[in-house]
Amino acid sequence: MKRSPLAPSAQAPVIAVDGVKLNTASTGIKYQNRDDLMLMSFDQPVAVAAVLTRSLTASAPVDWCRDVLSRGQTQAILCNAGNANAFTGAAGAVATEQCAKAVAEAGGYAPEHVMLASTGVIGEVLPDHLITPHIPALMAGTASTESKWLEAADAIRTTDTFAKAVSRQTTIGDTPITITGIAKGSGMIAPDMATMLGFIATDADLPAPVLQDCLSRFTEQSFNAITVDGDTSTSDTVIMVATAKASHPPVQSADDAILADFADALKSLMIELAVMIVRDGEGATKLIQINVSGADHDAAAKRIGLAIGNSPLVKTAIAGEDANWGRIVMAVGKSGEKADRDQLEIAIGGIPITRDGMCRPDYDESMVTEHMKGDDIRIDVHLNIGSGNATIWTCDLTQQYIIINADYRS
Amino acid sequence: MKRSPLAPSAQAPVIAVDGVKLNTASTGIKYQNRDDLMLMSFDQPVAVAAVLTRSLTASAPVDWCRDVLSRGQTQAILCNAGNANAFTGAAGAVATEQCAKAVAEAGGYAPEHVMLASTGVIGEVLPDHLITPHIPALMAGTASTESKWLEAADAIRTTDTFAKAVSRQTTIGDTPITITGIAKGSGMIAPDMATMLGFIATDADLPAPVLQDCLSRFTEQSFNAITVDGDTSTSDTVIMVATAKASHPPVQSADDAILADFADALKSLMIELAVMIVRDGEGATKLIQINVSGADHDAAAKRIGLAIGNSPLVKTAIAGEDANWGRIVMAVGKSGEKADRDQLEIAIGGIPITRDGMCRPDYDESMVTEHMKGDDIRIDVHLNIGSGNATIWTCDLTQQYIIINADYRS
C-alpha cells in the first residue's frame, strides 16, 4: 500500500516510557512478511483506563477488556492485526481466553490482568493456535526502547499506510513525566472511534479513576471527533496505562491543579494521534478541519460538524477541489440541529462566503479555489445563535476509497 | 450521461389525468439542447397536499410552497432544473415571487395559488428573467396527453439518466380513477427525501386533508425509505393534486373503507417511483433492498435499515460483489438501536448466514457470492427481539459516484 500523501514527512522522536516493555512477532494470520502481533507488558500490575466501542455488536476482545477494566489494573496488552474476532460467538470468546491465558502463563500473571485487542476482518474466529505458540518468545524479548515502540506502532496496522506514534514530555509538580501513544486506523472511522486502536502509556502515578477521567474527557475531543466514513467499528479500543515509575505528589482528581500541564500534554498527544488517523484515511488526499462555533450548545456544534464531515457530497466536492459551499449549507440543514439560515456564516480557508442567508456580494471564488488545491482544507461555520463550539477532522472521499473497500477481503 | 444500468428496460404506459395539463420549455439556464422548465396547470383551483424538506436551510421555493400549502389549493406548478434557488436570501425569494407572478398573470390565477420547485446548484439566485419570458407560450401550449407527461418527466431531470413516470388505474366505489406521478432524483438522496421532486395527480375528488394524510403516510414507506448517499437536500418536494374530475361518493377520511383500493394503488405508485430514484442513484450498479424485521419497533427497524443502507463500507463491498456480511453486523451495531448480537440473523439473497452470534457452520459463501453478481441485492436482517419492520432501498457506492460528484458544478 502506497504511503498516504497526507502522512507526516518524518517520524518525530518517540520516547520510551519507564515501566513499559514491548515486543512484536509475525503470525501470518492475514499478513505475510511483516509483524502483526504486539505485546506490551509491565513489571507489576498498573493502573489502566480504556474507552471501548459503543457498538452493540462489540467484538470478543472488547467484551474481555470491559471485564478487565472493571478491576482497574492490567499487566499486559496483546494486540493482533488482520482478524477482529468480532461476531464470532462462543468460539470467539474461547479464542480470546486462550490468548489471555497464554500471556498470563508466559509472564506469571493472572489472566484477568491481560487486555486484548484485535482488528481486521469481522466474522472469522481468531485462530488462537497461530498466536499462542509465539507468546513465550514474544514475552522473553520485550524491551523498553524507542525502536520497540516504533515496531509496535507498525505491527498493529491493518490498512494503515504509516505507523502512528507520538510522545510528549511534561511535568506533574516538578517531576518530569513522559507520555507516549501509538494508534492504528484508516477506515471504518467515525464519531464513536470506529476501527481504531490506541495504546497510551505514561510513567505518572495516577489512580485508575483519575486516568479514566482524563482519557474519557479528551477522547471526546480527539478520537471521537474524527470521521473518515461515518462507520463505527465493533472493535474500537483506546487503552491508557500509568506505570507509576515517576515520583510526584499524589493526585486525587483529574481536575487537580497539579495535573494541568499533564492534561494539556495528553490532550495534545491524543489529538495528534487522532488527526494522524484521518491523515491515513483510506484514499484520502486532503485533511479537512471543520470548526463549528456559535451553535446552540457544544453537542449541537459537534453534530453539525459531523453532518458536514460525513457528507459524501461535501467530501467528494473537496476531492474534486470544487468550492461547492452550497453542500455545506445542505449538511448544516440536514443535521437537525438548531440553525438560522439567514444567520449562517461559512468560510473556507478563512475566506468568508455567506451573509444574510446568501452568498456575499464581494465573494471571490478564485481565492477559495486556490485554497482547495492545497491538502489542508479548513471550513469554519458560525451559527450565530449560541456559544457551542466543536472541531471535527475528516478527509476527502476519493475513488481510491472505493477501490480499497470494494476489495478488502480478497 | 449514460443511462443507468438499473433503469427499467422500457417505459410502461403513462395515463394522462383528467384536469391536468402540462407543457415544457428550454431556458438554457444550465442545460443546453433540452427542456428544463415544466408547467402543470389546472382549469380551476384543485386540492393539494405536499411533503417538503425538513432541512433547516430550505430553498426559497420550498418556503413559498409551505405558504401556498397552508391554503390547501393550487392552480399551477412550475418546476425548473439546474438551479435550486437555495441559500439565496432575499434575492432568491424575490426571484421565486417573480416566477409565481408570471404564471399567475399568464393563467389568470392568484399568485398564491402557484406552486414552485427548483433543483440544481445551491447558492446561485434563480435568474427569473430567463424563465418568465417563456411563461405565456408555456401556458398557451399546455395539454393533457401522455406525451406531455413524459416530456414533463424528462424536463425536471438534473443528473437523472432516465425519466421517471408511473401510472395506476384503480377505483373509488365503482368509479374508475387514475393516478399518475413523475419524479426526479439521483443524488443527495436520503431519508428525508433529499433532492428529489415528485408530482402526483389524480382525478379523484378528495379534500386536501385526506390527500395530505395519504401522501404523508405513504411518503414514509416510499420516498423517505430510500437513500443513495445519506445527504438531505434543501429542495425536496413531493406535491399531490386531486382534480375532482371523477364523480364518486364523498370521502371524509384517509381511513374510509371506500378509499382502500385507491390507497393501495397510490402506495404502490409511490414505492415504484421511489425505487426508480434509487435505480438512478449516481454511479449505481446494484439495487439493494434491506428488509429489517423483529426490531424493537418500526422506527428502530427503519433506523437500522438506514444505518446499513448509508454505510459506505456496506455499499462499497456490494459494489465489489464481496459477500462481506461482517459490515452488516457493524452497521447494525452502530445504529444505536436495541439489538442482541447473539440473536441477530442475517441473510443475503435469502441465504441465511448467521446464528448464535456467529457465522453458521453450514454457511456456503459461494451461493451468496453468486447472488452478489446480480444487480438486485437483497439483505434480510432479523433482530429477534420485537415486531418492528421496515424496508429500505439503496444502491451501491462506486467510483462513478465520486467522479459525478467531484465535478458536478464545472
DSSP assignments along B128-161, one per residue: GGGTGGGHHHHHHT-B-SHHHHHHHHHHT-SS-S
Q: Are B164 and B31 in contact (CB under 8 A)?
A: no
Taking CA–CA distances from B308, the nearest residue in chain A reads: A231
Record: contact B317-A406, CB cut-off 8 A: yes
C-alpha cell at B98: 417573480
A189: confidence class by pLDDT, cuts 50, 70, 90: very low
pLDDT of residue B345: 95
Q: Are A64 and A97 in contact (CB under 8 A)?
A: yes
> Which residues on B lie below 8 Å from A311 (Cβ)?
230-231
Query: Positive or negative CA dihedral for A16, A20, A21, A27?
Result: negative
Pick A191 or A166 by higher pLDDT.
A166
Chain-centroid distance of CA A50 in Å reads: 12
pLDDT of residue B309: 92
Fold topology of A287-405: Ubiquitin-like (UB roll) (3.10.20)
* Cβ pairs bridging A and B (under 8 Å): 227
- On whether any CB of chain B is under 8 Å from the CB of A58, the answer is yes
Neighbours of B28 (CB within 10 A): 13
pLDDT of residue B81: 93
- With a cut of 90, say whether residue B137 has pLDDT above it: yes
Q: Tell if the pTM clears 0.90, that is, is over it.
A: no
B330: confidence class by pLDDT, cuts 50, 70, 90: confident
* Spans of all domains in chain B: 21-279, 287-405
Record: contact A313-B188, CB cut-off 8 A: yes
Q: For the segment B312-327, what is each residue's pLDDT rounded down to a tens digit? A: 889 999 999 988 898 8
Record: contact A234-B330, CB cut-off 8 A: yes
> Which residues on A lie below 8 Å from B58 (Cβ)?
333, 341
Q: Which residues of A270-294 are buried (b: 16+ CB within 10 A; e: fewer)?
A: bbbbbbbbbbbbbbbbbbbbbbbbb
pLDDT of residue B195: 72
B187: confidence class by pLDDT, cuts 50, 70, 90: low
Record: contact B90-A332, CB cut-off 8 A: no
How far away is chain B from the Cα of A71, in angstroms, using its nearest Cα?
25
Average pLDDT over residues B386-396: 94
* Catalytic residue annotation of B: 195
pLDDT of residue A410: 40
Question: Which of A282, A313, A365, A383 should we substitute to test contact with B (largest number of B Cβ atoms within 10 Å)?
Answer: A313
- On whether any CB of chain B is under 8 Å from the CB of A180, the answer is no
Number of helices (H), then strands (E), in chain A = 11, 16
Average pLDDT over residues B276-300: 92
Average pLDDT over residues B243-254: 96
- On whether any CB of chain B is under 8 Å from the CB of A124, the answer is yes
- On whether any CB of chain B is under 8 Å from the CB of A90, the answer is yes
> Which residues on B lie below 8 Å from A368 (Cβ)?
none
> Which residues on B lie below 8 Å from A55 (Cβ)?
330, 333-334
Q: For the structural domain made of A21-279, what CATH number should be given?
A: 3.60.70.12
> Which residues on A lie below 8 Å from B325 (Cβ)?
123
Record: contact B330-A231, CB cut-off 8 A: yes
- With a cut of 50, say whether residue A190 has pLDDT above it: no
Q: For the segment A344-390, what is each residue's pLDDT rounded down to a tens digit? A: 999 999 999 999 888 998 999 999 999 999 999 999 999 999 999 99
> Which residues on B lie below 8 Å from A224 (Cβ)?
none
| Strand pairing class (A226-227; A388-395) | parallel
Of B397, B79, B20, B95, nearest in space to B236 by CA: B79
Of B94, B115, B93, nearest in space to B104 by CA: B115
Catalytic residue among A119, A132, A195, A398: A195
pLDDT of residue A193: 35
- With a cut of 60, say whether residue A194 has pLDDT above it: no
* ipTM score: 0.72
Average pLDDT over residues A12-38: 95
Interface of B with A in 299-328 (CB under 8 A): 310-313, 316-317, 319-320, 322, 324-327
pLDDT of residue B122: 81
Q: Is B207 exposed, middle or buried (0-12, 13-18, 19+ CB in 10 A)?
A: middle
The answer for residues whose C-beta is within 8 angstroms of residue A400's C-beta and 6 or more apart is A282, A283, A285
Task: Measure the CA–CA gap between A112 and A100, rounded to whole angstroms.
Answer: 8
Average pLDDT score, chain A: 91
- On whether any CB of chain B is under 8 Å from the CB of A331, the answer is yes
Question: Which of B313, B329, B402 minimises the CB distance to A405?
Answer: B313
Q: Are B255 and B223 in contact (CB under 8 A)?
A: no
pLDDT of residue B1: 67
Query: Which amino acid appears at position A284 of this protein?
Result: A
